[in-house]
Amino acid sequence: MIVEMKTGASKESVDAVVQRAKSMGFNVQLNRGTDKTVVAILGSNTGQVATDIFAVLPEVESVTRIMRPYKLAAREFKGADSVVSVNGVELGGKRVVIMAGPCAVESEKQLMEAARAVKKYGASVLRGGAFKPRTSPFSFQGLEEAGLEILEKARRKLGMPVITEVVDPHEVDLVAGSADILQIGSRNMQNYALLTEVGKSHRPAVLKRGFSCTITEWLLAADYLLAEGNNQVVLCERGIRTFEDSIRFSLDISSIPVIKKSSHLPVIVDPSHAAGHYSLVPAIAKAAVAAGADGLLIEVHPNPKDALVDGLQSLSLSNFSNLMEELRPIAESVGRFI
């Protein structure tokens, strides 16, 4: 951490910075220029110290962090790629894992039809929301516990792991009873009570990026899960809010290589919520695989025009089948397979 003092700062003010750093167990290097003094605060934990601790002291001009604030999710903390294993499906290995299914579980018939098809075309994880975090309280909120029962049936019948969203910290055990992977939605990325409970559950978790959050904030959220001893964490880029309004969210494709550089955690992409329209999903999905995503989370509905949620962005079964065929050579071209 670098503390830049104001021009002509007094010796007492510089000493105050030095004393505070030393009292916290850090080493200090002083750089006295003709007009300005710069204090370098050294120690492996400076990334976790709030810059305000120094910024509030008299005659401090600025405080700049050198170390990254996230810790357990950082590549520096663990050099090798993490692989998250869910009933034999490995996320973060050579295989690009396809998770697919409807936005929401609507009925047993709807979910089973979607599940059979996505499995047949090569998906290895079934998605389906039982608890839906909706922007409007008047929108369909999901079948809740009845939805979990349907997911469990599909999981048993098809032997396919299931991912579903948990929205309430008090329902983590309930949802974990029916799901193999707990999904933390974009709107809940900074719900720290929820993150802590999912962390304690030690269940594989997919942490979606908050649509107004930076990559640093996303990795700090991952630290909440990791700090509870849950090392089965997978990140999911699903688009962020930008000035562009021709698409639902702008998929930040660059977050994939940035995550690969900054973190050891696997990262998957949800092209559906970024696209907002089924016609845009295939291009985004293919770009994500080409950019190094470890998996995709895709909305697929047997009858998108009658879907209760997100029908416009859901692929029909035949569109999903076509996309899977298009994805295979792309995965191979980047040394992966589907």
Contacting residues toward ligand PEP, per CB under 6 A: 103, 129, 133, 185-187, 208, 238, 270, 273
Binder of residue 201, out of Mn ion, ligand PEP, none (CB less than 5 to 8 A by kind) = none
Q: Which is nearer to Mn ion, 1 or 285 (CB)?
A: 285
Binder of residue 171, out of ligand PEP, Mn ion, none (CB less than 5 to 8 A by kind) = none
Whether the CB-CB separation of 111 and 128 falls below 8 Å is answered with: yes
Binder of residue 186, out of ligand PEP, Mn ion, none (CB less than 5 to 8 A by kind) = ligand PEP
Q: How far is the CB of 84 from ligand PEP (least distance, A)?
A: 18
Output the CA–CA distances (angstroms, integers) from residue 223 to 120, 207, 232, 234, in the order listed. Answer: 36, 11, 12, 12
Tokens read off for 85: 């294993």
Q: Which is nearer to Mn ion, 180 or 310 (CB)?
A: 310
Backbone angles phi and psi of 295, in degrees to 5:
180, 175
Q: How far is the CB of 183 from ligand PEP (least distance, A)?
A: 6
Q: Which is nearer to ligand PEP, 49 or 234 (CB)?
A: 234
Amino acid at residue number 80? A
Q: Which is nearer to ligand PEP, 106 or 270 (CB)?
A: 270
Nearest CA to 329 among 320, 337, 321?
337
The residue whose Cβ lies closest to ligand PEP is: 185
Binder of residue 238, out of Mn ion, ligand PEP, none (CB less than 5 to 8 A by kind) = ligand PEP
Q: Which is nearer to ligand PEP, 92 or 102 (CB)?
A: 102
Grouping H, G, I as helix, E, B as strand and the rest as coil, residue 78 is coil
C-alpha to C-alpha distance for 206 and 293, rounded to whole angstroms = 14
Q: Which is nearer to Mn ion, 41 or 181 (CB)?
A: 181
Q: Which is nearer to ligand PEP, 197 or 299 (CB)?
A: 299
Whether the CB-CB separation of 92 and 83 falls below 8 Å is answered with: yes
Q: How far is the CB of 47 from ligand PEP (least distance, A)?
A: 28
Strand partners, 253: none
- The reply to whether 206 sits near Mn ion by the rule CB under 5 A is no
Q: How far is the CB of 114 from ligand PEP (least distance, A)?
A: 14
- The reply to whether 310 sits near Mn ion by the rule CB under 5 A is yes
Residues 6+ apart with CB under 8 A from 292: 256, 257, 260, 334
Q: How far is the CB of 309 from Mn ion (least distance, A)?
A: 6
Q: How far is the CB of 298 from ligand PEP (least distance, A)?
A: 10
Q: How far is the CB of 167 from Mn ion (least distance, A)?
A: 13
- The reply to whether 103 sits near Mn ion by the rule CB under 5 A is yes
Q: Which is nearer to ligand PEP, 274 or 331 (CB)?
A: 274
Q: How far is the CB of 273 from ligand PEP (least distance, A)?
A: 4
Q: Which is nearer to Mn ion, 129 or 204 (CB)?
A: 129
**Part in contact with Mn ion (CB under 5 A); list of ranges 73-81, 96-104, 164-172, 250-258:** 96-104
Residues 6+ apart with CB under 8 A from 268: 91, 97, 99, 206, 234, 235, 236, 237, 293, 294, 295, 296, 297
Amino acid at residue number 127? R
Q: What is the DSSP string of 92-116?
A: TSSB-EEEEE-SB---HHHHHHHHH
Whether the CB-CB separation of 46 and 1 falls below 8 Å is answered with: yes
Helix orientation angle between 145-158 and 108-120, rounded to the nearest 10 degrees: 40
Q: How far is the CB of 225 from ligand PEP (least distance, A)?
A: 16
- The reply to whether 67 sits near Mn ion by the rule CB under 5 A is no
Residues 6+ apart with CB under 8 A from 310: 103, 104, 272, 273, 299
Interface contacts to Mn ion, rule CB under 5 A: 103, 310
